[in-house]
Structure 1
Amino acid sequence: MNELDELRGWDAGAPPLDDDTRHRARVRLFAAMNEPAAAPRPPRRRPVLRIAVAGAVAAAVTATVLVVVRDGDGQEPRAKAPAASSPALRNVSARAVLNGAAQYERTHEKTVAPRDDQYIYTKEIIQETEKGTGEVQRHVDENWRSVDGSKRSWVMEIGKGWWSEPLKENESVWPPQDWGTLKKLPTDPEKLILSLLHKSGPNDKNDSLDEITDQEWSDIHFSLAGLLSLVPVMPKGLRPAAYEALGMVPGVQAVPGQQDAKGRTGVAITYDDPTVEGTPYGGFFIFNPKTYEFLGFRDTRTSGEGKSMKTYTQLSYLDSWAITDKVKQRP
């Protein structure tokens, strides 16, 4: 008997590999076949990003805007809207959840066209539970961000606020906060990935996603997670594209049975980063398990040092948003 035929017929008693696992295996196999033998190198560290905050107010907060200071120098088809008879949560894949979330967003997103001189107002609710004592605190964060980035914005994190000044020369932020820059980001998921990979547009090279390394995927996930978690209001088509792009990142996983800030149980998306020890950036994105509507975030933050350090489980969601003519003007 041919040993390969016998192997094909063998049942290991395990479920079949999902698309994400197959993709990662193909990427690593391709790299192994084409990489010459060489002494192992330590993984490249992600470039250090400066945090644009005032003083120590948000130094311990993981979800904050990041500022970069320059020193001068074969995608799957989009998923259909999930039916009422969705498969058991334990069998759902991360890509199915994120493609479903993209489809939900395309159906329900509102078209926004703010003027450059206006502000985008957002109201976010954050519930924090201190792990040591179980004490629960609730924060209401209200933000007014300048649409074109030319004026001071009012920014809040965990109940504390400050004035955020316009960017200086040679400064840029990720994720972008001004509407003009957000509108330039591709709304095709593969082109969005390539634009994040090259930092200067999707057409620099004729890349295949199969040639992206683990470290590059880690950086792409970092950028997508920041975009989705820190920009509550986006131009039409960008959030669905970001969801689909996130679903194409090898190592993104679906975790059922996660509660949001309102006590609803959903399916969460998180990331198993092969290049980072410990919890990767981005936490958990929680979705309705049937409609795939986005429910909110779950993350962890710490404050203090040494014996006085405290760890908090943080649940948050966007309560409302609007366009206003003045900073601190309520809709």
Structure 2
Amino acid sequence: MTSHDTRRPQARRTDADEIAGLLPAPAEWDVPRERYLHHKELLMRQIDRDQALDRARPTPGPRPSRLLRPAVMVPVTALAIGAVALTVVTATGDSDHSATAGPSRHATTSDTTRPAAALLGRISQAALKNDATAVRDDQFTYRRAKIREADLTSAKAVVGPLRDMERWESQKQGPLLKLGMDRVDGETSSINAELGDTHGTPAGLGRPTYRWLAALPTDPDKLLSYLDAQTPKTAKVPGQGHNQFVFEQIGSLISEAMPPRTAAALYQAAARIPGVEPAPQAQDAIGRRGVGIARDDAASGTRTEWVFDKDGLALLGTRSYLIKDTSYGKKGTLLSSTAELEHAVVDKAGQEPAGNASHASMPSRQDS
């Protein structure tokens, strides 16, 4: 954080300055290491193909200028499971005008008549009713889910099988090189620090610990302003609209263990993002239908949905798919989906939660 200028004692601090002073620095990298390397490899292959075509093209006479290739976009969904590879979609423009995005574009606090705002208000109230279970710094949050995603190795979106995923995330506050452990279809792997964090990843957007989430503002407008400020205006996900990036930043947090007031504020903040709408036909990775909240990103041609149980309004899962034909697949092609099955707090990585384990901010969900 920049120190105050002692020569200007009358300078006023903005809300963003005050919020930033209360919170640890956000993680430098928003895209998990495995996902970043996957898409970097795809980009390098495309560059190699372009260079090969340039060398093969005849050169007599003036050489015509070649149009720049469209940027590629990595959709950031609500998965929050860093080892899961998502998809890349060719960008066709940014209807959100990401270069000039800012909090002034958000809906006002009085805009509660929109259907999405009304539904998110109900979901927020339901979140407040969850038992507040604090998580100690020496513990691990546990998450069990079903996951499915598309692979682009063949330059086409090939939807993989449904997989079982368990994740243990360390709650230690210092920058960590080992963030926890994943178990996918029985195979165990460590969760390493984010790419570029040579001294470890601190708590923040890239590693949202319970303590960090508890320190976020619970006023929805201040919370949205903070998340907006921490989201790059020129997205690290090329071609994705800024509003969509903020929406998916919130989506990456709502499956985490957090105090009920923080969860409620996140849902209320999402209601203030333009373009958010109800999704009546939403379903999770195992086909459970519920009430949904969604947002379309015209820039990338993708739709991201959050699915909630119709009765208790607990999070069931997420889904992302194409809403128009692209080089990677036809309209309707699934990009990723999850089904939340169980959340708990345990004392060490690899430990299975007991039958009556404490659950933080979200009730346990069993397969159905």
Q: What displacement does 1:268 show? A: 2.0
Residue 155 of structure 1 pairs with residue 178 of structure 2: no
Aligned 8 A contact 1:260 1:295 in 2: yes
- Counting matched residue pairs gives 240
Counterpart in 1 of 2:109?
75
Instruction: With the length of structure 1 as denominator, give the TM-score of the two structures.
Output: 0.59
148-157 vs 249-258, which moves further: 148-157
Q: What displacement does 1:158 show? A: 7.5
Residue 110 of structure 1 pairs with residue 131 of structure 2: yes
Q: What displacement does 1:197 show? A: 2.5
Percent identity over paired residues: 24
1:328 to 312, 329, 350: 350
Counterpart in 1 of 2:277?
253
Distance 1:106 1:169 in 2: 37
Q: What displacement does 1:273 show? A: 3.8
Aligned 8 A contact 1:126 1:158 in 2: no
Residue 197 of structure 1 pairs with residue 240 of structure 2: no
Secondary structure of 1:295's counterpart equals: strand
Q: What displacement does 1:293 show? A: 3.5
Residue 100 of structure 1 pairs with residue 81 of structure 2: no
Residue deviations 1:106-142, cap 9 Å, x none?
12x2212222111111111225699x99987331111
> RMSD of the TM alignment (CA)?
4.1
Alignment of 1:133-172 (within 5 A): 137-150=161-174, 152=178, 153-156=180-183, 161-166=188-193, 168-169=198-199, 172=202
Letter in 2 for 1:51: P
Structure 2, unaligned runs of 5 or more: 1-27, 41-73, 83-107, 232-239, 354-368
1:221 to 243, 247, 261: 247
Q: What displacement does 1:247 show? A: 0.9
Residue deviations 1:23-73, cap 9 Å, x none?
xxxxxxxxxxxxxxxxxxxxxxxx98443339968999954568xxxxxxx
Alignment of 1:1-20 (within 5 A): none
Counterpart in 2 of 1:295?
316
Instruction: With the length of structure 2 as denominator, give the TM-score of the two structures.
Output: 0.53
Counterpart in 2 of 1:209?
none
Counterpart in 1 of 2:301?
278
Structure 1, unaligned runs of 5 or more: 1-46, 67-73, 80-91, 201-213
Distance 1:128 1:217 in 2: 23
Q: What displacement does 1:242 show? A: 0.7
Q: Which has the higher strand share?
A: 1
Q: Are residues 139 and 159 of structure 1, via their aligned partners in 2, closer, same or farther at CA, if it must alter by over 3 Å?
A: farther
Residue 181 of structure 1 pairs with residue 208 of structure 2: no
Residue 319 of structure 1 pairs with residue 345 of structure 2: no
Q: What displacement does 1:149 show? A: 4.8
Q: Are residues 65 and 191 of structure 1, via their aligned partners in 2, closer, same or farther at CA, if it must alter by over 3 Å?
A: farther
